[in-house]
Amino acid sequence: MIAQYRKTGRLSRQQRTTAGFKRRYTDRDIRLLAEMDERHDTPCGHAIKKLCERAYQVFGQSDYETAGRHLC
């Protein structure tokens, strides 16, 4: 901006829009994580990750495949 002011004697700001952050969770993942969180009385994130992994690996609940993988 300093270079622009020195060159033109004025400033003009241009708004840049970006796509923002890449979405990591689907709405379904968020719902599953919230349900797991509520079911286990709001444990820490690491515990939720392990619970999701266990639900998928031990109990075969395929809904938790991506929810557990994306945490942490």
**Whole-prediction pTM:** 0.61
User: Is residue 58 in some structural domain?
Assistant: yes
Please indicate, yes or no, if residue 69 is contained in any of the structural domains.
Answer: yes
Average of pLDDT values for 1-27? 82
One-letter amino acid of 7: K
Greatest CA span in the chain, whole angstroms? 68
Helix (H) or strand (E) holding 62: none
Say yes or no to pLDDT of 72 above 60: no
Q: What is the structure's pLDDT at 49?
A: 86
Contact 68, 52 (CB under 8 A): yes
Which residues constitute the domain of residue 38?
25-72
Residue whose token pair is 């495949």 = 65
Residue 20 lies in a domain: no
Reported as a single tens digit per residue, the pLDDT across 15-62 is 777 777 788 888 988 898 899 989 998 888 888 888 988 999 999 998
Q: How many domains does the chain have?
A: 1
d(CA 55, CA 65) in angstroms, rounded, equals 8
Assigned domain for 11 exists: no
